A and B are shown apart, each in its own frame.
Chain A
Amino acid sequence: MTTANVAAVETVPFDVESIRKDFPILRQQMRGHPLVYLDNAATTQKPQLVLDTLARYYAAGNANIHRGVYELSEDATAAYDGARSKVKQLLNAASSREIVFTRNSTESINLVAQTFGRQHLKAGDEVLITHMEHHSNIVPWQLLCEQCDAELRVAPIDETGTLQLDEFERLLGPRTRLVSVVHLSNSLGTINPVQTIVEMAHRHGIPVLIDGSQAVYHMPVDVQALGCDFYVFTGHKLYGPTGIGVLYGREDLLEKMPPYQGGGDMIQSVTFAKTTYAELPNKFEAGTPHIAGAVGLGAAVDYLHKIGFDGIGGHEADLLAYGTEAIADVDGLRLIGTAAKKASILSFVMEGAHPHDIGTIVDRDGVAIRTGHHCTQPVMDRFDIPATARASIAMYNTRDELDALARALKRVREMFPA
Chain B
Amino acid sequence: MSDLRDLYQEVILDHNKHPHNFGELNDADRHADGFNPLCGDKLVVYVNFDGEIITDVSFVGSGCAISKASASLMTDAVKGKTVTEARGLFEDFLSLVTDDKAQLNHATLGKLAVFEGVRDYPTRVKCASLAWHTLRAAVEDCHEVVTTE
Most B CB contacts (10 A, CB to CB) among A353, A354, A373, A411 go to A354
For the complex, is A399 an interface residue (Cβ under 8 Å from B)? no
| CB-defined A-B contacts under 8 Å, sample of 20 | A353-B65, A354-B39, A354-B64, A355-B64, A356-B39, A356-B127, A357-B65, A361-B4, A361-B8, A364-B1, A371-B39, A372-B40, A377-B40, A386-B39, A386-B40, A386-B41, A387-B39, A387-B40, A415-B4, A415-B8
Contact A411 B1 (CB under 8 A): yes
A351 to B102, CA, bound (A): 37
For the complex, is B66 an interface residue (Cβ under 8 Å from A)? yes
A373 to B65, CA, bound (A): 17
Most A CB contacts (10 A, CB to CB) among B7, B64, B124, B127 go to B64
For the complex, is B63 an interface residue (Cβ under 8 Å from A)? yes
Residue of A nearest to B4 (CB): A364
Contact B39 A355 (CB under 8 A): yes
B 52-72 contacts with A by CB, 8 A: 62-66
For the complex, is A194 an interface residue (Cβ under 8 Å from B)? no
Q: Which of A354, A361, A371, A411 contacts B63 (CB 8 A)?
A: A354
A371 to B1, CA, bound (A): 21
B 1-37 contacts with A by CB, 8 A: 1, 3-4, 7-8, 13, 16-17
For the complex, is B145 an interface residue (Cβ under 8 Å from A)? no
Q: Contacts A364-B3, A386-B62 given: A380-B13 contact, CB under 8 Å?
A: no
A354 to B16, CA, bound (A): 10
Known: A356-B66, A360-B121. 6 other contacts (CB 8 A): A354-B65, A355-B39, A361-B4, A386-B63, A416-B16, A416-B65
Which A residues lie at the B interface, using CB under 8 A?
352-357, 360-361, 364, 371-373, 377, 380, 386-387, 411, 415-416
For the complex, is B79 an interface residue (Cβ under 8 Å from A)? no
Distance (whole angstroms) from the CB of B63 to the closest CB of chain A = 7
List residues of chain A with CB within 8 A of the CB of B17: 352
Distance (whole angstroms) from the CB of A414 to the closest CB of chain B = 9
A371 to B3, CA, bound (A): 21
Distance (whole angstroms) from the CB of B114 to the closest CB of chain A = 15
A364 to B2, CA, bound (A): 11
For the complex, is B42 an interface residue (Cβ under 8 Å from A)? yes
List residues of chain B with CB within 8 A of the CB of A415: 4, 8, 13
Residue of B nearest to A373 (CB): B40
Distance (whole angstroms) from the CB of A350 to the closest CB of chain B = 12
Q: Which of B1, B3, B62, B64 contacts A357 (CB 8 A)?
A: B64
List residues of chain B with CB within 8 A of the CB of A372: 38-40
Distance (whole angstroms) from the CB of A39 to the closest CB of chain B = 14
Contact A360 B40 (CB under 8 A): no
List residues of chain B with CB within 8 A of the CB of A377: 40
Contact B7 A360 (CB under 8 A): yes
List residues of chain A with CB within 8 A of the CB of B127: 356
A354 to B70, CA, bound (A): 15
List residues of chain B with CB within 8 A of the CB of A386: 39-42, 62-63
List residues of chain B with CB within 8 A of the CB of A357: 8, 64-66
Most A CB contacts (10 A, CB to CB) among B13, B40, B62, B127 go to B40
